[in-house]
Amino acid sequence: MFPKPKAVLFPNTYAFESEPMVKPTGFREYDARWLFNKEINLMGVQALGMGLGALIAEMGVKQEIVTGHDFRGYSASIKYALISGLMASGCKVHDIGLAVTPMAYFAQFDLDVPCVAMVTASHNDNGWTGVKMGANRPLTFGPDEMGRLKEIVLNAAFGNRSGGSYQFHENFPARYIADLTNRPKLKRKLKVVAACGNGTAGAFAPQVLEAIGCEVIPLDTELDHTFPKYNPNPEDMEMLHAIRDAVLAHKADVGLGFDGDGDRCGVVDNTGEEIFADKVGVMLARDMSAIHKDAQFVVDVKSTGLFITDPVLQAQGAKTVYWKTGHSYMKRRTNELGALAGFEKSGHFFFNKPFGRGYDDGLVSAIAICEMLDRAPGKSMSDLKDGLPKTWSSPTMSPHCADEAKYGVVDAVVKHFEALQKQGGQVAGQPIRDLVTVNGVRVTVADGSWGLVRASSNKPELVVVVESPVSERRMRDMFEAMDSVLRTHPEVGEYNQKI
């Protein structure tokens, strides 16, 4: 028998060392995230491993799983606790060691293993840990699997069995790097800043980019789990400004920034200006749909309206659907539709054949960007960006809102705008043209300006994004309109960043 996990235990006590702690809110919509030692302890991670093994058996999937860990001071110990739980449940565990998340996804294919459990807190601040899981490559868990996993773990309904085993795969990164770089070298000599924020990608990104023919300027690629400069998150302005400075200092063609677990890539052009990931997606969609006729794309609700309105995409016969934000949702929808690629504003890009295997990999995205530049020999990154119709868009802005309250707030905001639309009311001085409610609410008004409010799937926050094809003023009008609705809810706190 294994004890039922407690929601709260306190470090430096007998109970903390003798019982599992698992805070229920750590089970997110499509992965798991906790503050280590505050919301989960090592016995809690062990319980998670046993629960995951039980769920895999319940799903009728072979109990064989790939695991790896990101570069944080505590990730290895968390992985070994997870492994002990997986083995207790009867799983054969394939450990690839220190890895970026997409390396674990690649290992599912390369080692022919059905399941994955990657220990990572992605771009979350130090103190956080988590696990990205899947049992049907290239997909990762969605709400149904996460809900069932939560039920099994919190009720300690493990049904452990014998037969678990462990195998460590030595030098596995070399296989991943060989797979990425087994392609014709770039014809164009590109100078590329590779920025890793001292996170896991620093061990792999520079050599991958060099192998495809780039001249690489490494920026904070030394592994250091204290993250001394800034958090490795290419959506944060601090990291983007550091990339900008390096691009300008070295006269680089492009700056590429990778997040903590290497499944996202941020882009700074040759003038030092950040290109938001959704605009990079439009540029890549133009490039890919020029080669592949009638290309289909999937984009998340935070993304620019240009995927629908861009005249180049229209002329090339490209079709785009908007879907729920979140790497698991987007991966699944891209897979279901057999789309050429899926693009998420956060920088998760999902390339199907011939570009990738359907999972998100920041290095595959980086290679796609370099190959796009290679196919446009007379044009700089800023030329390609300036070739897009002009829009004014905000970064992703996140006001604090407790996990227990955020979904209720978003439901109320959705109902507010639905009622306003029925009444023929206005937002930012204009009638509502349409509402998309697959994930929170995206409100588009008559002039094409839009605003989005949704709940973050992995942090105690809401997510707000606004864009206007008209002017910066209209973008700010939309932000004020969305924020004024949020301010009627006292549970909504301060923003992490604002326009």
Instruction: Count other Cβ atoms within 10 Å, centred on residue 214.
Output: 26
Q: What is the DSSP string of 94-156?
A: EEEEE--HHHHHHHHHHTT-SEEEEE--TTSPTTEEEEEEESBTTB---HHHHHHHHHHHHTT
Question: Rounded to an integer, what distance in angstroms lies between the CA atom of residue 426 and that of residue 175?
Answer: 56
From 133, 253, 270, select the one nearest 189 (Cα to Cα): 253
From 253, 259, 193, select the one nearest 232 (Cα to Cα): 259
Q: Read off the tokens for 48.
A: 């998670």
Q: Which of 122, 303, 449, 468 is catalytic?
A: 122
From 371, 459, 334, 14, select the one nearest 187 (Cα to Cα): 371
Q: Is 45 left (phi over 0), alpha (psi -120 to 50) or beta?
A: alpha
In the chain, count H helices and then E strands: 16, 21
- Give the chain's length: 499
N- to C-terminal Cα distance for the chain? 53
**Residue at 246: amino acid letter:** A
Question: Rounded to an integer, what distance in angstroms lies between the CA atom of residue 139 and that of residue 463?
Answer: 24
Query: Do the beta carbons of residue 69 and residue 79 sit within 8 Å?
Result: yes
Active site residue 122: yes
Question: Rounded to an integer, what distance in angstroms lies between the CA atom of residue 453 and that of residue 472?
Answer: 19
Supply the DSSP symbol for 166: E
Question: Rounded to an integer, what distance in angstroms lies between the CA atom of residue 316 and that of residue 332?
Answer: 25
Query: Do the beta carbons of residue 398 and residue 459 sit within 8 Å?
Result: yes
Rounded to 5 degrees, φ, ψ at 216 are: -105, 130
CA–chain centroid gap for 417, Å, is 28
From 277, 274, 268, 331, select the one nearest 307 (Cα to Cα): 277
Query: Do the beta carbons of residue 6 and residue 19 sit within 8 Å?
Result: yes
Cis peptide before 354 (omega within 30 of 0): yes
Q: Read off the tokens for 141.
A: 């868990």
Rounded to 5 degrees, φ, ψ at 456 are: -65, 140
Using a 10 angstrom Cβ sphere, with 0-12 exposed, 13-18 middle and 19 or more buried, the burial of residue 329 is buried
User: Residues with catalytic annotation?
Assistant: 122
